[in-house]
Amino acid sequence: EGFWGASCDALEGEAGGFMRKAVLPGAVLVKSHMPDLTSVVPAFDVESIEARPEDQLRRASRRRVKFESIDFNERFIATVPADHDPIALRELFSPGFLDWASSIDRPIDFGANERQFYFMWRLRERTRAELELALHNAGRLFTSIERELEEANVATYRPGPWHAGMEPFPPMPGAAAQPSS
Protein backbone atom coordinates (compact mmCIF):
# COMPACT_ATOMS: atom_id res chain seq x y z
CA GLU A 1 0.00 0.00 0.00
CA GLY A 2 1.40 3.40 -1.01
CA PHE A 3 4.62 1.95 -2.44
CA TRP A 4 5.69 2.10 -6.08
CA GLY A 5 8.40 -0.20 -7.36
CA ALA A 6 9.07 -3.25 -9.45
CA SER A 7 9.80 -6.88 -8.64
CA CYS A 8 11.37 -9.83 -10.40
CA ASP A 9 12.61 -13.35 -9.78
CA ALA A 10 16.07 -13.75 -8.23
CA LEU A 11 18.48 -16.49 -7.17
CA GLU A 12 17.21 -18.71 -9.96
CA GLY A 13 18.23 -22.36 -10.21
CA GLU A 14 17.41 -25.42 -12.27
CA ALA A 15 14.98 -27.98 -10.88
CA GLY A 16 13.44 -31.11 -12.25
CA GLY A 17 14.44 -34.38 -13.83
CA PHE A 18 16.62 -35.40 -16.77
CA MET A 19 14.23 -34.44 -19.56
CA ARG A 20 12.09 -31.83 -17.82
CA LYS A 21 14.15 -29.08 -16.25
CA ALA A 22 12.83 -25.70 -15.29
CA VAL A 23 14.49 -22.55 -14.01
CA LEU A 24 12.77 -21.54 -10.78
CA PRO A 25 13.23 -18.51 -8.51
CA GLY A 26 14.68 -18.86 -5.04
CA ALA A 27 13.88 -15.26 -4.10
CA VAL A 28 11.98 -12.13 -5.06
CA LEU A 29 13.92 -8.93 -5.73
CA VAL A 30 11.96 -5.70 -5.21
CA LYS A 31 13.38 -2.33 -6.28
CA SER A 32 12.35 1.28 -6.16
CA HIS A 33 14.07 4.10 -8.02
CA MET A 34 14.82 6.61 -5.24
CA PRO A 35 17.44 9.13 -6.37
CA ASP A 36 16.88 11.25 -3.25
CA LEU A 37 17.89 8.33 -0.99
CA THR A 38 21.38 7.86 -2.37
CA SER A 39 21.98 11.60 -2.44
CA VAL A 40 21.70 11.75 1.38
CA VAL A 41 23.08 8.36 2.50
CA PRO A 42 25.93 6.41 0.96
CA ALA A 43 25.43 3.25 -1.01
CA PHE A 44 24.93 0.45 1.49
CA ASP A 45 24.11 -3.23 1.79
CA VAL A 46 22.48 -5.05 4.68
CA GLU A 47 22.73 -8.80 4.24
CA SER A 48 21.55 -11.67 6.37
CA ILE A 49 24.43 -13.58 7.83
CA GLU A 50 22.59 -16.73 6.71
CA ALA A 51 23.03 -15.59 3.09
CA ARG A 52 25.41 -17.10 0.56
CA PRO A 53 29.02 -17.85 1.66
CA GLU A 54 30.40 -16.67 -1.72
CA ASP A 55 29.50 -13.11 -0.65
CA GLN A 56 32.30 -13.10 1.95
CA LEU A 57 34.93 -11.90 -0.56
CA ARG A 58 32.80 -8.93 -1.66
CA ARG A 59 32.06 -8.02 1.96
CA ALA A 60 35.77 -7.97 2.80
CA SER A 61 36.30 -4.99 0.46
CA ARG A 62 33.67 -2.88 2.25
CA ARG A 63 33.43 -1.19 5.66
CA ARG A 64 31.22 -2.95 8.19
CA VAL A 65 28.74 -0.80 10.08
CA LYS A 66 27.62 -1.86 13.54
CA PHE A 67 24.40 -0.60 15.11
CA GLU A 68 23.14 -0.16 18.68
CA SER A 69 21.02 -3.33 18.34
CA ILE A 70 22.83 -6.53 19.33
CA ASP A 71 20.09 -8.62 17.65
CA PHE A 72 20.49 -6.70 14.39
CA ASN A 73 24.30 -7.02 14.46
CA GLU A 74 24.06 -10.78 15.12
CA ARG A 75 21.61 -11.28 12.28
CA PHE A 76 22.92 -8.90 9.59
CA ILE A 77 26.14 -7.61 8.12
CA ALA A 78 25.72 -3.97 7.11
CA THR A 79 28.42 -2.47 4.90
CA VAL A 80 29.25 0.69 2.99
CA PRO A 81 31.92 1.08 0.27
CA ALA A 82 35.45 1.40 1.66
CA ASP A 83 35.65 5.09 0.74
CA HIS A 84 32.37 6.05 2.51
CA ASP A 85 31.78 7.19 6.07
CA PRO A 86 29.49 4.71 7.87
CA ILE A 87 28.00 7.30 10.24
CA ALA A 88 25.27 8.37 7.76
CA LEU A 89 24.01 4.79 7.62
CA ARG A 90 24.04 4.42 11.42
CA GLU A 91 22.02 7.61 11.72
CA LEU A 92 19.46 6.45 9.15
CA PHE A 93 17.94 3.56 11.14
CA SER A 94 15.99 4.10 14.38
CA PRO A 95 15.92 1.49 17.16
CA GLY A 96 12.34 0.60 16.17
CA PHE A 97 13.42 -0.05 12.58
CA LEU A 98 16.32 -2.25 13.73
CA ASP A 99 13.96 -4.28 15.96
CA TRP A 100 11.40 -4.70 13.15
CA ALA A 101 14.04 -5.81 10.60
CA SER A 102 15.44 -8.29 13.13
CA SER A 103 11.98 -9.81 13.61
CA ILE A 104 11.58 -10.93 9.98
CA ASP A 105 11.50 -14.72 10.00
CA ARG A 106 13.92 -15.47 7.14
CA PRO A 107 17.12 -14.25 5.49
CA ILE A 108 16.62 -10.92 3.71
CA ASP A 109 18.95 -8.43 2.09
CA PHE A 110 18.32 -4.74 1.44
CA GLY A 111 20.26 -1.66 0.55
CA ALA A 112 20.76 1.28 -1.77
CA ASN A 113 22.96 1.56 -4.82
CA GLU A 114 22.83 3.24 -8.20
CA ARG A 115 19.96 5.50 -7.04
CA GLN A 116 17.79 2.48 -6.27
CA PHE A 117 16.61 0.90 -3.06
CA TYR A 118 16.36 -2.90 -3.15
CA PHE A 119 14.94 -5.69 -1.00
CA MET A 120 15.59 -9.42 -1.52
CA TRP A 121 13.18 -11.91 0.05
CA ARG A 122 14.19 -15.59 -0.01
CA LEU A 123 11.23 -17.79 -0.84
CA ARG A 124 10.24 -20.78 1.28
CA GLU A 125 7.70 -21.85 -1.32
CA ARG A 126 6.53 -20.61 -4.70
CA THR A 127 2.94 -19.63 -3.91
CA ARG A 128 0.79 -16.55 -4.28
CA ALA A 129 0.68 -16.13 -0.49
CA GLU A 130 4.51 -16.18 -0.31
CA LEU A 131 4.80 -13.60 -3.11
CA GLU A 132 2.23 -11.37 -1.40
CA LEU A 133 4.15 -11.70 1.90
CA ALA A 134 7.38 -10.71 0.13
CA LEU A 135 5.76 -7.66 -1.47
CA HIS A 136 4.05 -6.68 1.79
CA ASN A 137 7.36 -6.76 3.69
CA ALA A 138 9.15 -4.89 0.90
CA GLY A 139 6.49 -2.19 1.13
CA ARG A 140 6.90 -2.01 4.92
CA LEU A 141 10.66 -1.72 4.55
CA PHE A 142 10.42 1.01 1.92
CA THR A 143 7.85 2.88 4.03
CA SER A 144 10.15 2.60 7.07
CA ILE A 145 13.09 3.98 5.08
CA GLU A 146 10.88 6.82 3.81
CA ARG A 147 9.80 7.64 7.37
CA GLU A 148 13.40 7.57 8.63
CA LEU A 149 14.43 10.02 5.89
CA GLU A 150 11.51 12.35 6.62
CA GLU A 151 12.20 12.34 10.37
CA ALA A 152 15.82 13.26 9.65
CA ASN A 153 14.51 15.98 7.29
CA VAL A 154 16.90 14.88 4.56
CA ALA A 155 14.66 13.71 1.72
CA THR A 156 11.09 13.83 0.54
CA TYR A 157 9.53 10.74 -0.97
CA ARG A 158 6.58 11.44 -3.24
CA PRO A 159 5.05 8.07 -4.15
CA GLY A 160 4.18 7.50 -7.77
CA PRO A 161 4.81 5.45 -10.91
CA TRP A 162 8.20 7.14 -11.44
CA HIS A 163 9.59 4.94 -8.64
CA ALA A 164 8.76 1.89 -10.77
CA GLY A 165 10.34 3.45 -13.86
CA MET A 166 6.96 3.90 -15.56
CA GLU A 167 7.11 7.71 -15.79
CA PRO A 168 9.84 10.36 -15.49
CA PHE A 169 10.29 11.94 -12.07
CA PRO A 170 8.26 15.14 -11.63
CA PRO A 171 10.23 18.23 -10.63
CA MET A 172 10.56 18.84 -6.91
CA PRO A 173 8.32 21.68 -5.66
CA GLY A 174 10.03 25.00 -6.33
CA ALA A 175 12.60 23.43 -8.70
CA ALA A 176 12.83 24.32 -12.36
CA ALA A 177 11.62 21.62 -14.73
CA GLN A 178 14.40 19.52 -16.24
CA PRO A 179 14.54 19.37 -20.05
CA SER A 180 13.67 15.96 -21.50
CA SER A 181 16.37 13.99 -23.20
Q: Look up the pTM and report it.
A: 0.76
What local confidence, expressed as pLDDT, does residue 64 receive? 87
What local confidence, expressed as pLDDT, does residue 159 receive? 67
> How far from 48 is each of 85, 97, 106, 129, 160, CA to CA, in Å?
21, 15, 9, 22, 29
- For residue 39, which phi and psi values (nearest 5 degrees)? -85, -15
Q: What is the DSSP letter of 3?
A: -
Q: Distance (Å, rounded) from C-alpha 172 to C-alpha 108?
A: 32
Q: Distance (Å, rounded) from C-alpha 143 to C-alpha 141?
A: 5
Q: Distance (Å, rounded) from C-alpha 150 to C-alpha 144?
A: 10
Helices (H), ranges, the chain: 35-40, 56-60, 70-75, 87-92, 95-102, 128-151
In the beta sheet, which residues pair with residue 29? 8, 120
What local confidence, expressed as pLDDT, does residue 177 receive? 46
Contacts of 92 (CB under 8 A, 6+ apart): 41, 145, 148, 149, 152
What local confidence, expressed as pLDDT, does residue 71 receive? 93
> How far from 63 is each of 46, 110, 145, CA to CA, in Å?
12, 16, 21
Q: What is the DSSP letter of 91?
A: H
Give mean pLDDT in consecutive 10-residue pieces for the chain, a chain of 181 residues.
71 72 80 73 81 54 85 91 82 87 90 85 88 88 79 67 70 52 46
